[in-house]
C-alpha cells in the first residue's frame, strides 16, 4: 500500500525537522556537520547532472539591514554535480533526502535519480521544480511539463517530494497544479522555495545587495513566514478535502521556534530551516525541537502528529 507517512517514517517518527536544501549542504564537510544536528534527515543542495559554478558573486545577502533575520540570494544552483554525491552520500550516517534539479530538460532529473537510486542512505528525493534563480522557468509553473515529469517519476517508482514555489499570485492556477500533484505518486510537497524576484538596496554604496539577474533574487527568512504558512495551509487543506494521502513539509520563515510550531498547526508534517541555519548554525534545530516537545507536553499532546493542521478558522 502506498503510504507517504510510512515511507517517510525515518523523518516523521523521529525528529520531523531537516535543513532546507541550499544553505550549507553542498559539500561533504557540510553534510557531515549536519549529521550532528537535531534533525531526522539531511537534505542535500539541489544537484544537477554536471558541476555548476552558479551565478556571479556577490550572490547572497544573508542578513538584510531592516530585517536582519531575512536573506536574498541568487546562487544559480552552484554544486559539484551528481557524480560527487554518488561518491559521498553513502558515508553519511543519517537518512538523506537528495534534492535534484535540472538546468536542461526533464531527462536531467531522471539521469540524476537513476545514479542515486541504489544508494542505501538516500531514502527519498526532493525534486526541485521551483528554483527562482536560473534562466529556465520553474517547472511548477508549466502544468504540461510538470505532469510529464511526475508521470515518468511514477513509472520509475521513485520516492519523491516536490519542492514547490508559492502560488499566492493565482489561486486558480494553484488548483490546476495541485490536481496534477494529487494524481501523482509523489509523497507530498515541500512548501515553499524562496519568494522569487525580490530586491534590496545598500544605503552606503547605493547599489543593489546582490549582483546576478539585475539584483533580483529569492527572498527567505523571518518575513517569509506569513506567505509560507498560507501556502502550507492551502496544500494541507487541498489534500484533506480531496482525500489525498500526501504530506506537506513546511519551509519558509522559521527563524524562531514558535514559527515552526505555526507551520505544524498550519498543516506541516515536518519543517525545514534555511536562512536561520545559515545565520546561526546547527544549534537552531535543537532549539526548535526542544521548544516543540516542551510545548506539546505543556498542552497535553503526546506527539507532533496530534497538532498537524489543527488551526481553526476564525
Ligand X SMILES: Cc1cc2nc3c(=O)[nH]c(=O)nc-3n(C[C@H](O)[C@H](O)[C@H](O)COP(=O)(O)O)c2cc1C
* Sites of contact with ligand X (CB under 6 A): 20-23, 45-46, 60, 71, 73, 75, 77, 99, 128, 163, 193-194, 220-221, 224, 251-254, 273-276
Nearer to ligand X, 45 or 246 (CB): 45
Q: Is 203 helix (H, G, I), strand (E, B) or coil?
A: coil
Nearer to ligand X, 77 or 308 (CB): 77
Nearer to ligand X, 77 or 82 (CB): 77
Q: CB neighbours of 188 closer than 8 A, spacing ≥ 6?
A: 4, 8, 161, 162, 239, 246, 247, 248, 249, 269
Task: Give me the torsion for CA of 111, 112, 114, 119, rounded to 10°.
Answer: 160
Nearer to ligand X, 238 or 277 (CB): 277
Set of cell numbers at residue 52: 555548476
Set of cell numbers at residue 151: 508521470
Give the whole-angstrom CA distance, residue 42 versus residue 33.
Answer: 10
| Run of H or E residues at 201 | strand 201-202
Residue closest to ligand X, measured at CB: 22
Give the whole-angstrom CA distance, residue 280 versus residue 64.
Answer: 15
Asked whether 167 and 231 are in contact (CB, 8 A), the reply is yes
Nearest approach, Cβ of residue 298 and ligand X (Å): 25
Q: Is 131 a catalytic residue?
A: yes
Q: Is 130 a catalytic residue?
A: yes
Nearest approach, Cβ of residue 299 and ligand X (Å): 25
Nearest approach, Cβ of residue 300 and ligand X (Å): 29
21, 99, 130, 269: which is the annotated catalytic residue? 130
Nearest approach, Cβ of residue 61 and ligand X (Å): 10
21, 25, 70, 131: which is the annotated catalytic residue? 131
**Which residues are part of the catalytic machinery?**
130-131
Amino acid at each position: 500500500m502506498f503510504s507517504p507517512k510510512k515511507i517517510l517514517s525515518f523523518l516523521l517518527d523521529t525528529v520531523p525537522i531537516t535543513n532546507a536544501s541550499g544553505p550549507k549542504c553542498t559539500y561533504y564537510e557540510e553534510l557531515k556537520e549536519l549529521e550532528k544536528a537535531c534533525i531526522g534527515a539531511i537534505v542535500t543542495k539541489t544537484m544537477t547532472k554536471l558541476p555548476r559554478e552558479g551565478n556571479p558573486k556577490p550572490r547572497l545577502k544573508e542578513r538584510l539591514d531592516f530585517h536582519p533575520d531575512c536573506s536574498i540570494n541568487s546562487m544559480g544552483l552552484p554544486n559539484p554535480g551528481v557524480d560527487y554525491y554518488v561518491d559521498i552520500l553513502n558515508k553519511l550516517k543519517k537518512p538523506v533526502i537528495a534534492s535534484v534539479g535540472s538546468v536542461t530538460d526533464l531527462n536531467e532529473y531522471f539521469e540524476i535519480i537513476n545514479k542515486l537510486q541504489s544508494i542505501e542512505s538516500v531514502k527519498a528525493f526532493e525534486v526541485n521544480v521551483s528554483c527562482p534563480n536560473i534562466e529556465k522557468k520553474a517547472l511548477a509553473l508549466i502544468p504540461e511539463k510538470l505532469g510529464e515529469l511526475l508521470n515518468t517519476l511514477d513509472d520509475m517508482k521513485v520516492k519523491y517530494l516536490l519542492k514547490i514555489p508559492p502560488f499566492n499570485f493565482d489561486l486558480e492556477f494553484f488548483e490546476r497544479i495541485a490536481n496534477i500533484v494529487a494524481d501523482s505518486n509523489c509523497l507530498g510537497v515541500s512548501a515553499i522555495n524562496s519568494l522569487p524576484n525580490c530586491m534590496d538596496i545598500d544605503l552606503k554604496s547605493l547599489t543593489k545587495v546582490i549582483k546576478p539577474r539585475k539584483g533580483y533574487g529569492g527572498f527567505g527568512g523571518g518575513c517569509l513566514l506569513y506567505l509560507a504558512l498560507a501556502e502550507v495551509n492551502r496544500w494541507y487543506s487541498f489534500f484533506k478535502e480531496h482525500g489525498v494521502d500526501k504530506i506537506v513539509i513546511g519551509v519558509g520563515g522559521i527563524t524562531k521556534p514558535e514559527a515552526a510550531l505555526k507551520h505544524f498547526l498550519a498543516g506541516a508534517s515536518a519543517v525545514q530551516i534555511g536562512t536561520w541555519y545559515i545565520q546561526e548554525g546547527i544549534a537552531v534545530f535543537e532549539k526548535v525541537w526542544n521548544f516543540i516537545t516542551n510545548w506539546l507536553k505543556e498542552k497535553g499532546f503526546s506527539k507532533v502528529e496530534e497538532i498537524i493542521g489543527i488551526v481553526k478558522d476564525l
